[in-house]
């Protein structure tokens, strides 16, 4: 799938101060665009349907939302009539009220939208939703899969994560574009690698725990560090803060202990 990326920056005055909000816009097809606040990083979908424009995962932030609204007018000549969320965390649903106050309807399902298929799973949160937009062959997966962070399968555990990935892989075809909750769009092949790396991570943490290692010892294990770096697909010099790395081990241990 050919994806065209262009950069848009807008300057808005706010209470006498200059408030700058930048929006990155990616054209997926004539009926689908991906928008992202340059300083917020949530992937936002804007899809054209026979019922009107659908917005997926509007992030919070008054200035960002004003610019987002203007960009939607520029793309489609109208504001969204419907809002969908992959899950209810604030970085994906915090902008709902902004568009609802302008007349948009928050949908709990896509039954009335023939162009979009919904799959409900439990992985990152207790109520994750995956949206497949048929005409653009794009799949919006929320934080089940992020391409700029480690896995966050805490609500559904390993079984929930695997089930969610299997559900995503069952949509579209091998050329479908995967839109993660955060990070760059990617392919099903990369999602399969992410699943393998996640299972390798959990298996290794479990093995080290069962060998009697403490949290601090697991943290220093070379194989653990190596597996963790597989998630650093952007090749950042510092993938995540040390506290986040330790927290990921802790939460993985919690998932293992609870056998979720």
Q: Evaluate whether residue 201 is within a structural domain.
A: no
State the CATH number of the domain containing residue 61: 3.60.15.10
What is the total count of domains within the chain?
1
Q: Evaluate whether residue 208 is within a structural domain.
A: no
Q: Evaluate whether residue 203 is within a structural domain.
A: no
Spans of the chain, pLDDT less than 70 = 1-20, 260
Residue 10's pLDDT is 35
Q: Whole-model pTM?
A: 0.91
Q: Look at the block and give the residue holding tokens 């050329």.
A: 175
Residue 4's pLDDT is 43
Tell me how far apart the alpha carbons of residues 161 and 164 are, in angstroms, rounded to a whole number: 5
Tell me how far apart the alpha carbons of residues 189 and 187 are, in angstroms, rounded to a whole number: 5
Q: Evaluate whether residue 133 is within a structural domain.
A: yes
For residue 19, give both structure tokens. 């408030």
Q: Evaluate whether residue 226 is within a structural domain.
A: no
* Sequence-distant (≥ 6) Cβ neighbours of residue 237 within 8 angstroms: none
For residue 133, give both structure tokens. 């937009």
Give the domain extent around 112: 4-188
Give the residue among 44, 31, 73 at the shortest CA–CA distance from 185.
44
Q: Evaluate whether residue 251 is within a structural domain.
A: no
Residue 20's pLDDT is 59
* Sequence-distant (≥ 6) Cβ neighbours of residue 129 within 8 angstroms: 84, 85, 86, 87, 118, 119, 120, 121, 142
By CB neighbour count within 10 A (0-12 exposed, 13-18 middle, 19+ buried), where does 89 fall? middle
Residue 17's pLDDT is 26
Q: Evaluate whether residue 170 is within a structural domain.
A: yes
Residue 124's pLDDT is 98
Tell me how far apart the alpha carbons of residues 3 and 17 are, in angstroms, rounded to a whole number: 36
Where b means 16+ CB within 10 Å and e means fewer, 145-175 reads bbbbbbbbbbbbbbebbbebbebbbebbeee
Q: Evaluate whether residue 68 is within a structural domain.
A: yes
């Amino acid at each position: 799938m050919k994806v065209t990326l262009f950069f848009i920056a807008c300057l808005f005055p706010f209470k006498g101060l200059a408030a700058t909000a930048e929006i990155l816009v990616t054209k997926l097809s004539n009926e689908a665009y991906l928008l992202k606040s340059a300083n917020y990083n949530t992937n936002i979908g804007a899809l054209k349907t026979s019922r009107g424009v659908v917005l997926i995962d509007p992030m919070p932030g008054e200035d960002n939302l004003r610019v987002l609204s203007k960009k939607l007018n520029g793309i489609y000549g109208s504001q969204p009539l419907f809002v969908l969320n992959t899950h209810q965390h604030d970085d994906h649903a915090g902008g709902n009220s902004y568009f609802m106050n302008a007349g948009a309807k928050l949908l709990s399902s896509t039954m009335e939208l023939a162009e979009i298929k919904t799959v409900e799973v439990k992985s990152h949160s207790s109520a994750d939703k995956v949206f497949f937009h048929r005409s653009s062959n794009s799949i919006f997966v929320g934080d089940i899969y992020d391409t700029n962070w480690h896995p966050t399968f805490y609500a559904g555990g390993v079984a929930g994560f695997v089930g969610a990935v299997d559900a995503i892989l069952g949509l579209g075809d091998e050329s479908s574009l995967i839109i993660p909750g955060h990070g760059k769009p990617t392919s099903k092949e990369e999602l399969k690698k992410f699943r393998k790396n996640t299972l390798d991570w959990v298996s290794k943490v479990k093995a080290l725990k069962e060998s009697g290692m403490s949290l601090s010892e697991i943290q220093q294990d070379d194989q653990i560090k190596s597996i963790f770096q597989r998630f650093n697909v952007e090749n950042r010099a510092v993938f995540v803060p040390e506290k986040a790395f330790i927290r990921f081990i802790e939460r993985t241990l919690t998932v293992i202990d609870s056998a979720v």
